[in-house]
A = this chain, B = another copy of it.
Amino acid sequence: MMRVIGVMGGGERSTPEVCRLAYRTGYLIAREGWVLLNGGRPVGVMEAAARGAKEGGGLTVGILPGRNPEEASAYIDIPIPTGMGDARNCINVLASQVVIALPGGAGTLSEIALALKSGKKVVLLNFPLGDEFKPYYENGQLIPVKTPEEAVAVVRSLLRKR
């Protein structure tokens, strides 16, 4: 069974700096030999992380909200259309052994919350969350990091413990 790591984050309104981090994270995931999984659309963090993973020689899976595989980013190898809209966010997190979250809006926040609800660890890459998430910082489910290198090192260590 392959290791599947999810990278979540903003869509259309992502800044170039966040996309650069997403690209680097995807690249490093591929270099580790892990599969990159994301929401599959050709925008923002999704597009950048998938491009990074492909340019790092990896395999990419995109869990799409719609019914049409052609909606996927060109950097997605295996599109999984679900036809379920935002309910696919639940699958994004369940199908990821660890989730790395970059800055994003309500969609990304729903994925972080759903991952926490299902007991997953979430590596927060430059994405500080408010006091309402405090219990999850305290119990170690939320792990803040500053760089893609650090994010991948945390994932490596989490996978080793399993």
Contacts and interface: CB of A to CB of B under 8 A. Distances in A.
Interface of A: 1-2, 4, 35, 61, 63, 67, 69, 72, 74, 76-87, 89-91, 94-95, 97, 105-107, 109-110, 113-114, 116-118, 127-133, 135-136
B95 A91 contact: no
B80 A91 contact: yes
B35 A78 contact: yes
A66 to B, nearest CB: 9
Oligomer copy total: 4
Contacts of A84: 83-85, 87, 90-91
Given A106-B114, A109-B133, A61 B78 contact: yes
A106 B97 contact: no
B79 A1 contact: yes
Contacts of A135: 105
What are the 9 closest A-B residue pairs judged by CB atoms, nearest first? A130-B130, A110-B113, A106-B116, A109-B113, A106-B117, A83-B85, A87-B90, A80-B95, A87-B87
A130 B136 CA distance: 14
